[in-house]
């Protein structure tokens, strides 16, 4: 293994992946169809690495081992000799399909070909490739250099060995991969996010609370708890008797709520416009980028704290 990764697309997610691989000592090559984007990437990557160092998520010895990100003018230069190709171009079936055709032409025969796709499944853009058995989705969350989760989604044609190999390499760079058994639009992350967002839009549309208060319930309640125990474990721990008792007491109410807000509700443009205006009152357009930076740096502190918690001795409940 050369520990060389090619990042195709140097936008938000491409840069995040570049940082994640570079921090683990990988050799990172980056290419973008827009040369300006690629040329700007190394400096951003340096800033992001420095932020990770400042947050205690990257050791100074590790920073010393980081190799400079190489900008490649052509896709071919980026992917040749790579062990891993991470496609990070726009969320568009035809753009992704074309990029994979190009990748396939120039890459080594056993390279992992991963897409950062947020919702599009690989069989929509990789079915016709000769090397489709090594194509998979590796979906990160934004900011990709901070949040450890990566969803690995096999297409029907993906070799299961590739998924295992990808999971192992991702763990090696400090990621926490989860593996889906098969394709579904939106995977786990965005389906769960979508369920909460649909309900949030409905509550906002109904005028049941301000947008700020709806976000507040998640920030200072649900999400803080979810950062330790997920929705299943939360419900299991909320009732003596576990999920069985939770279901007995709460399932009918949740079914009524789902029917009331409509689990398949849509967001008409007028509603989206109104919600957008409400957000801009809370956060002015000119403050948007600074707020996103604040989110990234604060998330780093949170993950540093979580890592410290995980280092503490934890009983293994399974054996109890
Ligand atoms: N932003 C997020 O929150 C997020 C999270 C997870 C996954 N994703 C997914 O990651 C992918 C990239 O998203 P992003 O937010 O980084 O987008 P972005 O717009 O910031 O970056 C995309 C980059 O791809 C480049 N590009 C377009 N066509 C290209 C081509 N043919 N060859 C090379 N480069 C090309 C563009 O110039 C641009 O720099 C998408 O599939 C997106 O859905 C995004």
> In 3-state terms, the chain is what percent helix, strand and coil (to 5)?
55, 10, 30
Candidate from 8, 10, 12 with most ligand 1 atoms within 8 A of CB, to mutate:
12
Arithmetic mean of pLDDT over the chain: 94
Nearest to 111 by CA among 150, 87, 79, 89: 79
- In this predicted structure, what is the pLDDT of residue 293? 92
30 half-sphere exposure, CB direction, 13 A CA radius: 35
**Cβ < 6 Å from ligand 1: which residues?**
8-14, 32-34, 37, 88-91, 95, 99, 116-118, 139-140, 142
Quick one: CA dihedral 87, 93, 94, 100, positive or negative? positive
* d(C-alpha 66, C-alpha 296), whole Å: 21
- In this predicted structure, what is the pLDDT of residue 224? 92
- In this predicted structure, what is the pLDDT of residue 320? 52
- In this predicted structure, what is the pLDDT of residue 282? 93
- In this predicted structure, what is the pLDDT of residue 264? 72
Q: What is the mean pLDDT of each run of 10 residues along the chain (320 residues)?
A: 96 98 97 96 96 93 94 98 98 98 96 96 97 98 96 98 98 97 95 95 96 97 92 92 92 93 84 93 94 92 87 69
Determine which residue's CA is closest to atom 25 belonging to ligand 1: 9
83-130 pLDDT, tens digit per residue, is 999 999 999 999 999 999 999 999 999 999 999 999 899 999 999 999
All residues at 6 or more sequence positions from 222 whose CB lies less than 8 Å from its CB, including other chains: none
- In this predicted structure, what is the pLDDT of residue 268? 87
Element of type H or E holding 63: helix 60-64
* d(C-alpha 170, C-alpha 155), whole Å: 19
**Phi, psi (rounded to 5 degrees) for 142:** -85, 130
* d(C-alpha 303, C-alpha 128), whole Å: 40
């Amino acid at each position: 293994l050369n520990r060389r990764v090619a990042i195709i697309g140097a936008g938000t997610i491409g840069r995040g992946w570049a940082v994640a691989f570079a921090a683990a000592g990988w050799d990172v090559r980056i290419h973008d169809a827009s040369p300006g984007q690629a040329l700007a990437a190394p400096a951003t990557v340096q800033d992001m690495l420095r932020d990770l160092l400042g947050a205690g998520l990257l050791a100074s010895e590790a920073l010393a081992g980081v190799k400079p990100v190489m900008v490649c003018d052509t896709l071919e230069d980026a992917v040749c000799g790579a062990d891993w190709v991470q496609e990070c171009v726009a969320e568009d079936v035809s753009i992704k399909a074309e990029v994979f055709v190009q990748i396939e032409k120039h890459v080594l025969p056993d390279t992992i070909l991963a897409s950062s796709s947020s919702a599009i499944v690989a069989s929509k853009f990789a079915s016709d490739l000769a090397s489709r058995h090594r194509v998979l989705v590796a979906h990160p969350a934004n900011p990709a250099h901070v949040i450890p989760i990566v969803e690995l989604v096999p297409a029907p044609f993906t070799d299961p060995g590739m998924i295992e190999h990808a999971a192992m390499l991702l763990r090696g760079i400090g990621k926490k991969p989860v593996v889906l058994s098969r394709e579904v639009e939106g995977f786990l992350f965005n389906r769960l996010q979508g369920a909460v967002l649909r309900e949030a839009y409905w509550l906002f549309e109904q005028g049941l609370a301000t947008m700020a208060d709806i976000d507040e319930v998640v920030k200072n309640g649900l999400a803080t708890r979810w950062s330790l125990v997920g929705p299943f474990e939360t419900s299991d721990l909320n009732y003596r008797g576990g999920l069985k008792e939770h279901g007995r007491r709460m399932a009918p109410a949740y079914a009524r709520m789902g029917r009331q807000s409509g689990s398949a509700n849509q967001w008409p443009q007028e509603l989206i416009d109104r919600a957008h205006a409400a957000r801009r009152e809370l956060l002015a357009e000119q403050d948007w980028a600074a707020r996103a930076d604040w989110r990234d740096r604060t998330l780093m502190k949170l993950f540093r704290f979580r890592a410290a918690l995980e280092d503490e001795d934890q009983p293994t409940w399974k054996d109890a």
